[in-house]
Every structure is written in structure tokens, then in C-alpha cells.
């Protein structure tokens, strides 16, 4: 039995880098496959070119960890991707505005 071949989105690092630059979020690329987005000790998100992600933690209220060790798949479309990342990094601002 063979292992399923991983599908990589090679445009994802550029898209995430653009997102980070637009939003003032730190972007770090650890290698060919692994990237990290972090924002002011509020949220840390690791993601891979397979579109898998892992939320290390979110700390919106400085002391209460709201989300940690959450995993999932990032959306493929750019607008949906930006929307889901905004919900991770700017959840409080979005709640206050809405």
C-alpha cells in the first residue's frame, strides 16, 4: 500500500507573505514547506504548503488562551484565505466592529 502523495500549493508562501505585509503581521519561512505568521504575542499560526495549519495559541485578552493546538486546512481561494486569517488574528476587532 502506498502513501498518498502530498499536494503542495507553491504560491501559498507568496500569498501569506503579502497578507502579512498588508496587515503588519510577522511572517517567517522556516524552509521550503513550513511558515509561521505571528502577531504581537496575540496569535501564532504555523502553516505548510499542503495548506494544513496549526494554531499554536491565541491570546486576545493577554492572559487567557482562547484557542490552542487547533488544526485544519486553509482555504484555497485568496479572499476566503484572507477572511479566515483575519478571523484568527483580528477576532476581537471584528467582534467590536460587527
Ordered per-residue pLDDT tens for the chain, 98 residues: 567 778 999 999 999 999 999 999 999 999 999 999 999 888 899 999 999 999 998 887 777 778 888 999 999 999 999 999 999 998 777 666 65
3: in domain: no
Question: For the chain, first and last CA: distance in Å?
Answer: 50
41: in domain: yes
**According to the model, what pLDDT value does residue 41 have?**
81
Place of cell 460587527: 98
Please state the domain count of the chain: 1
Handedness of CA 77, 79, 82, 83 (dihedral sign): negative
**According to the model, what pLDDT value does residue 68 have?**
84
**According to the model, what pLDDT value does residue 4 have?**
77
DSSP assignment of 16-77: HHHHHHHHT-EEEE-SSSEEEEEETTTEEEEEETTSEEEEEEE-TTSS---EEEEEEE--SS
69: in domain: yes
59: in domain: yes
Per the structure, the complete domain to which residue 65 belongs is given by: 12-97
4: in domain: no
Residue 27 near residue 16, CB atoms below 8 Å: yes
The kind and range of the H/E element at 13 are helix 12-23
1: in domain: no
66: in domain: yes
81: in domain: yes
Q: What is the pTM of this model?
A: 0.85
Amino acid at each position: 500500500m502506498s502513501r498518498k502523495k502530498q499536494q503542495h500549493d507553491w504560491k501559498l508562501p507568496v500569498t501569506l507573505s503579502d497578507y502579512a505585509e498588508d496587515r503588519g503581521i510577522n511572517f517567517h519561512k522556516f524552509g521550503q514547506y513550513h511558515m509561521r505568521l505571528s502577531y504581537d504575542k496575540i496569535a501564532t499560526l504555523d502553516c505548510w504548503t499542503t495548506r494544513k495549519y496549526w494554531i499554536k495559541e491565541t491570546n486576545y485578552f493577554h492572559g487567557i488562551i482562547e484557542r490552542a493546538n487547533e488544526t485544519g486546512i486553509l482555504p484555497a481561494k485568496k479572499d476566503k484565505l484572507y477572511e479566515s486569517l483575519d478571523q484568527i488574528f483580528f477576532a476581537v476587532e471584528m467582534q467590536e466592529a460587527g
